[in-house]
Amino acid sequence: DASQLKEEILAKYPRKVAKKRAKAMVINDPNESQEIGANIRTVPGIITQRGCTYAGCKGVVLGPTRDIINLVHGPIGCSFYAWLTRRNQTRALEGDPNFITYAFSTDMQDENIVFGGEAKLKDAIREAFDTFHPSSIGIFSTCPVGLIGDDVHAVAREMKEELGINIFGFSCEGYRGVSQSAGHHIANNGIFKHVVGNDDRERTGKYQVNLLGEYNIGGDAFEIESLFEEIGVTLISTYSGNSTVESFAYSHTADLNMVMCHRSINYIAEMMEEKYGIPWFKVNFIGAESTAKSLRKMAEYFGDPEMIAKVEEVIAREMLKVKAVAEAVKPKVEGKLAMMFVGGSRAHHYQDLFTELGVRVVSAGYEFAHRDDYEGREVLPNIKIDADTRNIEDLVVTKDEEKYRDDLAEKKAKLEADGYEFKDYKGMMPDMQKNSLVIDDVNHWETEKLIEFYKPDMFCAGIKEKYVVQKYGVPLKQLHSYDYGGPYAAFGGAINFYKEMERMLGTDIWKLVDTPWK
Ligand code: ICS
């Protein structure tokens, strides 16, 4: 069983490493509260799946936003490898700016490392301004910037003054946190400080919402947007798939924040509630059942009978299509085994899609999530704050007496009294089967042992794992970029995913793989 596998994995490690890794592997019991070691530094020498803090800040959170110039201060490689490989899509309106197809970099050279790069950064900002006339520019620090001490914030202030547009910097040097998770937090802080609340424009809809933590990979956000539109909900802003900085600036005019990826964006949800009184709850639009549940929860929040009826109508109509495909695919894939090791929320969300097909998830884990994403938010007060976390600024946010929405706070209190849950993420572990193996920050050695042990029919991870796993004769589905596929969100996305699983699980080609070491 799983405990034997865990022993075998740990036996290979030096004693100290084994002790560390033992805490990151939990044999799951959904009815017990179990602690997992998460958001802890990777042991040097281990091949981790993780990315860096700059990746989380520039690549993940700000990267999908199209009307800002995201200028990377650093060596060209940092920009090149963040250049649309995440497959985040956007749809600019006619005549509107869209800068995400570009890679902006100061292209630091040895000379700048030795003598400082601030002058080059200023020139780059002026050049970007003269060429593109953006309304805002973000500056992203890569590792050398922190090492040589360039002050990107001072440069931002100076250039903001000179050019008269919004310019702000991020101290998101790659090494600043233990993973990209630190970069999410830094990005959340920066957007909140420099953008949110800048534009108090008039309401345009009766029911206004923000969708937080949806990045439009493979067009996921488009699927969700069209549902909202049909239901009569005005989507002010998505953080940050198919988004604009312009919309972030008035996103505080929303009546509700729905959080899709808890890990990357819970900070903004919390800060917006503190300052403006906008309640938030967790949603999930991956999986047909989860989508239905999330839509119902939204309709219940607004309590408009017309919206409630519309939601039911949409669910009934879409479920017919979804069920037809699921019923055709399920017999072909039912009982197969899957495992998924992805980022900070998809390893949880995608289990729903597999469950809908009768595929069993035997092992799963996040790369960089925190204990609350595994065990639920009730453990938040018990999470030890270590030096790596303390490194990241925790903004102190206070109530905005003028803009605070007392009406929403009252609405929330009333709903809560009826058992409606806000801020209620319960994490991945309670949703996983008993004795499944939960692993944080899995590495290549552990991946190989997992494959040998479980012989899974499907492995879900990313590009760094893909070809190693496939050489074992196991198909790998990238749950970061979706390979070339998607969207997989909402009802239409569920259908796409079922078909993809039918294609990948139904072929015998993987049995023909002759590994070089056999
Ligand atoms: Fe959130 Mo890859 Fe998201 Fe998640 Fe996050 Fe990343 Fe991607 Fe992955 C992400 S924001 S880039 S849902 S869109 S950093 S797939 S935690 S690792 S699972």
Residue by residue, DSSP assigns 378-394 as: GGGGG----HHHHTS--
Per residue in 430-457, pLDDT (tens digit) is: 999 999 999 999 999 999 999 999 999 9
Question: Is 348 a pocket residue for ligand 1 (Cβ < 6 Å)?
Answer: no
Q: Give me the sign of the Cα torsion angle 174, 176, 182, 183.
A: negative
Residues 6+ apart with CB under 8 A from 410: none
Compute the chain's Rg from CA coordinates.
Answer: 23
pLDDT over 90 at 511, yes or no? no
Measured from the CA of 368, which atom of ligand 1 is nearest?
Answer: 16
Mean per-residue pLDDT for 151-163?
Answer: 98
pLDDT over 90 at 396, yes or no? yes
Question: Is 178 a pocket residue for ligand 1 (Cβ < 6 Å)?
Answer: no
CA distances from 381 to 267, 371, 449 (A): 15, 11, 35
pLDDT over 80 at 427, yes or no? yes
Q: Facing residues of 489 across strands?
A: 286
pLDDT over 70 at 231, yes or no? yes
pLDDT over 70 at 381, yes or no? yes
Across the chain, what does the average pLDDT equal?
Answer: 97
Mean per-residue pLDDT for 387-408?
Answer: 95
For residues 339 and 330, give the distance between their C-alpha atoms in angstroms, rounded to a whole number: 18
Say if residues 133 and 99 touch (Cβ distance below 8 Å).
no
For residues 174 and 180, give the distance between their C-alpha atoms in angstroms, rounded to a whole number: 8
Question: Is 343 a pocket residue for ligand 1 (Cβ < 6 Å)?
Answer: yes
What pLDDT was estimated at residue 518? 62
Question: Is 42 a pocket residue for ligand 1 (Cβ < 6 Å)?
Answer: no
Say if residues 204 and 234 touch (Cβ distance below 8 Å).
yes
Candidate list 66, 86, 176, 262, residue with the active-site label: 86
pLDDT over 80 at 515, yes or no? no
For residues 504 and 154, give the distance between their C-alpha atoms in angstroms, rounded to a whole number: 52
Edge-to-edge strand order for the sheet containing 136-141? Answer: 104-105, 68-73, 136-141, 166-170
Among 365, 334, 329, residue whose Cα is nearest residue 494: 329
CA distances from 321 to 225, 327, 328 (A): 19, 10, 11
What is the greatest pairwise CA distance in the chain?
70
Say if residues 49 and 441 touch (Cβ distance below 8 Å).
yes
What pLDDT was estimated at residue 514? 81
CA distances from 44 to 295, 468, 491 (A): 44, 21, 42
What is the number of alpha carbons within 13 Å of residue 104 lying toward its C-beta? Answer: 28
* Alpha helix segments (H runs only) across 232-261: 245-249
Q: What pTM was computed for the model?
A: 0.97
Is 494 assigned a catalytic role? Answer: no
Per residue in 181-219, pLDDT (tens digit) is: 999 999 999 999 999 999 999 999 999 999 999 999 999
Per residue in 6-65, pLDDT (tens digit) is: 999 999 999 999 999 999 999 999 999 999 999 999 999 999 999 999 999 999 999 999
Mean per-residue pLDDT for 138-146?
Answer: 98
Helix (H, G, I), strand (E, B) or coil at 448: helix
For residues 184 and 187, give the distance between their C-alpha atoms in angstroms, rounded to a whole number: 5
For residues 244 and 128, give the distance between their C-alpha atoms in angstroms, rounded to a whole number: 18
* DSSP secondary structure letter of residue 489: B
Distance 221 CA to ligand 1 centre (A): 14
What pLDDT was estimated at residue 516? 64
> At 9, which helix (H) or strand (E)?
helix 2-11
Question: Is 241 a pocket residue for ligand 1 (Cβ < 6 Å)?
Answer: no
For residues 81 and 76, give the distance between their C-alpha atoms in angstroms, rounded to a whole number: 9
If one residue of 54, 349, 480 were mutated to test the ligand 1 pocket, choosing by the most ligand atoms within 8 A of its CB, it would be 480
What pLDDT was estimated at residue 309? 98
Distance 59 CA to ligand 1 centre (A): 10
Distance 489 CA to ligand 1 centre (A): 14
Q: Is the ipTM of this complex over 0.85?
A: yes
In this structure, the number of other CB atoms found within 10 A of the CB of residue 151 comes to: 16
Helix (H, G, I), strand (E, B) or coil at 257: strand
Q: Facing residues of 70 across strands?
A: 138
Helix (H, G, I), strand (E, B) or coil at 349: helix
What is the pLDDT confidence band of residue 299, given thresholds at 50, 70 and 90?
Answer: very high
Question: Is 86 a pocket residue for ligand 1 (Cβ < 6 Å)?
Answer: yes
Is 185 assigned a catalytic role? Answer: no
* DSSP secondary structure letter of residue 431: G
> At 363, which helix (H) or strand (E)?
strand 360-365
In this structure, the number of other CB atoms found within 10 A of the CB of residue 198 comes to: 14
Per residue in 240-294, pLDDT (tens digit) is: 999 999 999 999 999 999 999 999 999 999 999 999 999 999 999 999 999 999 9
Burial (CB count within 10 angstroms: exposed 0-12, middle 13-18, buried 19+), residue 450? buried
Give me the residue label for tokens 């070491």.
Answer: 517
**Total residue count of the chain as it appears in this document:** 518
